[in-house]
Amino acid sequence: MNITRRAFVKSAASAAAISMSGLVSGKAFADSAIQFHRAQCRFCGTGCTVLAGVKGGRVVSVKGDADSPINFGRLCMKGYQLAHIMDGKDRLTKPLVRQGDGSFKTVSWEQALDLVAEKFAKLIESEGPDSVAWYGSGQNTTQEAFAANKLFKGIIGTANVEGNPRLCMASAVGGYLNTFGADEPAGGYDDFEKADCYFIIGSNIAENHPMLFRRVIDRKSAYPERIKVIVADPRYTPSARYADLHLKFKPGYDMHLLNSMAQVIVEEGMVDEEHLGYCSFRKGLKTAGEFTDLAAFKLFLADYAPEKVADQVGVPAADIRKAARWYGQQGRTALSLWCMGINQRTKGVQLNCQIHNLHLLTGKIGKPGSDSLSLTGQPNACGGTREQGGLTHLLPGHRAVANAKHRQQIAGIWGLPEDRLPKKPTGPAINMFMRLAEKKIKAIWINTTNPGQSLPEVGKYRKAMQEAFTVVSDVYPGRTTELASVILPSAMWVEKEGIMGQTDRRSQFISKAVEPPADAKSDFWQIREVSSRIAKKLGVKTDFRVLDPENGNVKTTRSVYGLGFKTEKEAWDEYRLCTRGTDVDLWGATYEKLKAHSGGVQWPCPSTDFKNRGSAKRFISKAYAEEHFANTRTAYKTGYVTLYDQHMQDKGLDGPVNYYGAHPFHAGSKGKAIIRVMAAGLSFEMSDELYPYVLNTGRVIEHWHTGTMTMRVRMLKEMNPGAYVELSPEDAGKLKVDNGDMLKIVSRRGEIVLPAWVTKRAQPGMVFVPWFDENKLINLLTISDPKSWSGAGEPDYKVCAVKLSKA
Amino acid sequence: MAIAGALVIPVNRDDEKNLVVKLNLLPGVEVQKSGLRGIAVVLEAEDTETIKDISKQIEQWREVIGFELAYLNWEELSKGND
Ligand code: SF4
């Protein structure tokens, strides 16, 4: 029996590998011993669709979903370890409360929930709603994030709602708002198979979004001459190794590089005149600068001619020209991809706008194969935070806290009095932790994230978390739970049900496949239970409306203490209603559709028609798509997406191309995109005589963020067991350091000693340290000074000055 | 017992033939087919840790840009003699 089973498993393994190789599709092996449940990988923002195989109440097999239009059945090494992240021996399974002597005592859920509610309610009553706060995550499900938002902004009435996406994607939001007046990209993953030039900047996509990089490799393998891959990165990463052209610029000089590429595009006539009709030019960010024109932009760019900036940037002028030509030639398509190397920067918003500038100038947007696609770090930073409104200034459906009409709309849907909602934002994430340190915030609930390890200049804020009343919901003990007053044990991944939204405006369903261990509970349940207790203590009732999921009509109303919705599905239906009619329209993303379609739904999706899975392109009308493209739909294995913007069609918005964003940053644009004219600037802290090296931090392929989960997977831990410092052979020679020697790294804020890895990945003058290792807190050295933040409140994790010595 | 299906992706298509020979020489590795997107292999080992060692070794070969698991199973399976 076992022998047969082994042969069967080998055949299944072979079929899976063969189907991925692009040969005959592997014969589908129906494995009756294992029941597969569809979910989404809970690691990176790619959002690969996964099938979790369950036998005997445990996940025993994991495979990519071949029906998925995201990963086509593939997964990277982290994805394959998903099941093991649930099995760590030290899973948190009981609520814990810190005692006077610093130890933790196990308590019942009733006791833990009562304690949290009582502490929060007392503070709210005695010191006001802004004395408490929520710090969530791009790894919460959308329902969890929506529930927390309703609790804090609706029931409690504070705008102290922030999350870790502030630290990774806020600059990308700023870039989209300044350029298009609407957040999130115009295109999506379908563009990978139509792109001729991939311009990858500030992203080690090969390690951090491996399955998207596979789509690049596939395309390049099929058309090796035609397809060009350009990687702009100060490090010689695996992505750079694969590229046709590596622009190894000096850390901090990417604004110069991007303006230089724009200069070549304009000077050499690669501008798309027709598309410029849909654009305007404006000096600087937001609305302070005046509108200008192409002629003035051309004059401005003259100082950035490649021959003038090459030495400064550290890239030969000929390479800058080559990159601009490969990207800009008319008749070819271009897809830009970037991530934290651009966002986690003092000039993060400007850099984002500069990338959009190149697309707008060349008209390489709104067409199959062309897009300006910001890669998301986390699996639900887009869905749970950007779209749902999980930051201090936002409300669900791309609405603003400061907008009275938006508050009225959301209060109406939430069934709460309008005047309970805060009227203005408080402050971005680091500001919130600063207020915690100043004891203006006295209680904080940290959920699905590990700020005790991940905040910049973390030493400052660890003390603040320890001194406040800090509630931490997590799955494993770590550098934040050790600071907590109360620890709530959470369910994870397929131990709970939820929806997550990824990089390309896509939402996917995660099925619950197994039970969480012992007393661990879903975060949704935790928030719901705390909400009803706090609401009762504050005497706040919610008029919850049970909706008809098809037409949104109210079926019944119940007046309750708490959130009102009891299940994840009810929460999702209320959230769908919040998005209805907005640019992030998810009204058509019914539970039924999300469960049925592998790869989910892409908003805007106003239609509840079962086959309609939303819009692959934004900002272009149906008429424009019909005139320019052979097809106006892309068919998937089940259903289809349109190559036009269903929100535009639904709202009757004018024009073949309409950058309709109504955001205040976009005021005066008259539906046109804005090419931002911006002088190149540097990072807040560049290297100098005292601190002559630049420290860059980031992720590695084996580990996810702070390693809470992946360091519990033996295979991943052994592949990459601890932090190290990458430095160039040239610098190693100067410092007389060999591989494995200990190196002391000192910044103006802290120091650390790490083993050296001498590698050509690093360029002279720069070192790189990953941040997954909880025993080596590299964030003791990084910067949290508000002056280092991008215009969107995001700190600079990528460039800070350090000195090095052999330890 | 652990069994995996994986795809080995060469940096350059010209390296493919050599890679197939090298892969077949590794204990526990069987090349299944060589396709447009890479070389499909099955790996069989005592445990997932050994699968990790083999994959790490392959990944570090100069001719390889990627090693992707397509399937991984770690149920209790006796090796038998089939
Ligand atoms: S690429 Fe990202 S989403 Fe896909 S399997 Fe790997 S970690 Fe998961």
Q: What are A413-453's pLDDT values in tens digits?
A: 999 999 999 999 999 999 999 999 999 999 999 999 999 99
Ligand 1 contacts CB of residue A64 (under 6 A) = no
Reply yes or no on whether the pLDDT at B80 is more than 60. Answer: no
Q: Respond yes or no: is residue A168 known to be catalytic.
A: yes
- Determine the distance separating the centroid of ligand 1 and the alpha carbon of A107, expressed in angstroms: 36
- Determine the distance separating the centroid of ligand 1 and the alpha carbon of A41, expressed in angstroms: 6
Report the pLDDT value the prediction gives residue A2, as an integer from 0 to 100.
Answer: 46
The residues, any chain, with a CB within 8 Å of residue A331's CB and separated by 6 or more, are none
Contact A450, A189 (CB under 8 A): no
Assigned architecture for domain A96-166+380-540: 3-Layer(aba) Sandwich (3.40)
Q: Respond yes or no: is residue A354 known to be catalytic.
A: no
DSSP state of A348: H
Assigned architecture for domain A170-375: 3-Layer(aba) Sandwich (3.40)
If contacts are CB pairs under 8 Å, which of residues 3-62 in chain B contact chain A? 3-7, 9, 11, 13, 32-44, 48-49, 51-52, 55-56
A15-41: average pLDDT: 69
Per domain, the residue ranges of chain B are 2-73
Top mutation candidate among A20, A211, A239 for ligand 1, by most atoms within 8 Å of CB:
A211
Question: Exactly one of A47, A363, A369, A377 is catalytic; which is it?
Answer: A377
Reply yes or no on whether the pLDDT at A33 is more than 90. Answer: no
Reply yes or no on whether the pLDDT at A5 is more than 80. Answer: no
Provide, rounded to the nearest whole percent, the portion of chain A with pLDDT above 70. Answer: 98
More confident residue, A159 or A56: A159
Q: CB-based burial of residue A459 (10 Å sphere; 0-12 exposed, 13-18 middle, 19+ buried)?
A: middle
Contact A10, B45 (CB under 8 A): no
Going by DSSP bridges, is the β-strand pair A279-283/A291-292 parallel, antiparallel, or unpaired?
antiparallel
Ligand 1 contacts CB of residue A363 (under 6 A) = no
The residues, any chain, with a CB within 8 Å of residue A153's CB and separated by 6 or more, are A159, A161, A395, A401, A421, A422
DSSP state of A7: H
DSSP lists the bridge partners of residue A281 as: A292, A675
| DSSP 3-state percent helix, strand, coil across chain A (nearest 5) | 35, 20, 45
A701-709: average pLDDT: 88
* Alpha helix (H) residue ranges in A223-347: 238-242, 254-267, 273-276, 294-301, 306-313, 317-328, 340-343
ipTM: 0.90
Going by DSSP bridges, is the β-strand pair A132-136/A443-447 parallel, antiparallel, or unpaired?
parallel
Q: How far apart are CA A354 and CA A757, in angstroms?
A: 34
Work out the minimum CA distance from A726 to partner chain B, whole angstroms.
17
Per domain, the residue ranges of chain A are 5-84, 96-166+380-540, 170-375, 591-617+620-650, 693-782
Q: How far apart are CA A333 and CA A354, in angstroms?
A: 18
> If you average pLDDT over every residue of chain A, what do you get?
94
Work out the minimum CA distance from B51 to partner chain A, whole angstroms.
9
Among chain B residues, the shortest Cα distance to A244 is held by B11
CA distances from A402 to A183, A394, A395 (A): 17, 8, 9
Name the amino acid, one letter, at A209: H
A217/B52 CB distance under 8 A: no
Reply yes or no on whether the pLDDT at B78 is more than 60. Answer: no
Report the pLDDT value the prediction gives residue A1, as an integer from 0 to 100.
Answer: 41
Q: Reduce the DSSP state of residue B7 to 3 states and report it.
A: strand
A214-221: average pLDDT: 90
DSSP state of A86: G
Ligand 1 contacts CB of residue A612 (under 6 A) = no
Reply yes or no on whether the pLDDT at A85 is more than 70. Answer: yes
A14/B51 CB distance under 8 A: no
Strands (E), A131-274: 132-136, 161-163, 197-201, 228-232, 245-247
Reply yes or no on whether the pLDDT at B49 is more than 80. Answer: no
CATH number of A5-84: 3.30.200.210
Report the pLDDT value the prediction gives residue B17, as an integer from 0 to 100.
Answer: 86
Q: What are A656-680's pLDDT values in tens digits?
A: 999 987 788 988 888 899 999 999 9
* Fold (topology level) of B2-73: Alpha-Beta Plaits (3.30.70)
> Using alpha carbons only, how large is chain A's radius of gyration in Å?
25
CA distances from B53 to A215, A310, B28, B57, B79 (A): 26, 43, 11, 6, 19
Structure tokens at A551: 């037409």
Q: CB-based burial of residue B70 (10 Å sphere; 0-12 exposed, 13-18 middle, 19+ buried)?
A: buried
When pLDDT is cut at 50, 70 and 90, the band that residue A539 belongs to is very high
The residues, any chain, with a CB within 8 Å of residue A476's CB and separated by 6 or more, are A88, A90, A91, A92, A708, A709, A712
CA A583 to chain centre: 19
Backbone angles phi, psi at A704, to 5 degrees: -105, 120
The residues, any chain, with a CB within 8 Å of residue A4's CB and separated by 6 or more, are none
When mean pLDDT is compared across A25-29, A380-384, A548-552, A636-640, the lowest value belongs to: A25-29
Q: How far apart are CA A79 and CA A72, in angstroms?
A: 13
- Determine the distance separating the centroid of ligand 1 and the alpha carbon of A695, expressed in angstroms: 27
Name the amino acid, one letter, at B11: V
When pLDDT is cut at 50, 70 and 90, the band that residue A596 belongs to is very high
Assigned architecture for domain A693-782: Beta Barrel (2.40)
Structure tokens at A28: 């589908």
- Determine the distance separating the centroid of ligand 1 and the alpha carbon of A720, expressed in angstroms: 17
Partners of residue B33 in chain A, C-beta under 8 Å: 18, 21, 23
Contact A666, A674 (CB under 8 A): yes
Question: Would you call the peptide bond into A129 cis, given omega within 30 degrees of 0 as the criterion?
Answer: no
When pLDDT is cut at 50, 70 and 90, the band that residue B79 belongs to is very low
Q: How far apart are CA A288 and CA A301, in angstroms?
A: 20
Report the pLDDT value the prediction gives residue B69, as an integer from 0 to 100.
Answer: 78
Query: Closest Cα to residue A348, out of A806, A801, A41, A789?
Result: A789
Ligand 1 contacts CB of residue A189 (under 6 A) = no
When pLDDT is cut at 50, 70 and 90, the band that residue A334 belongs to is very high
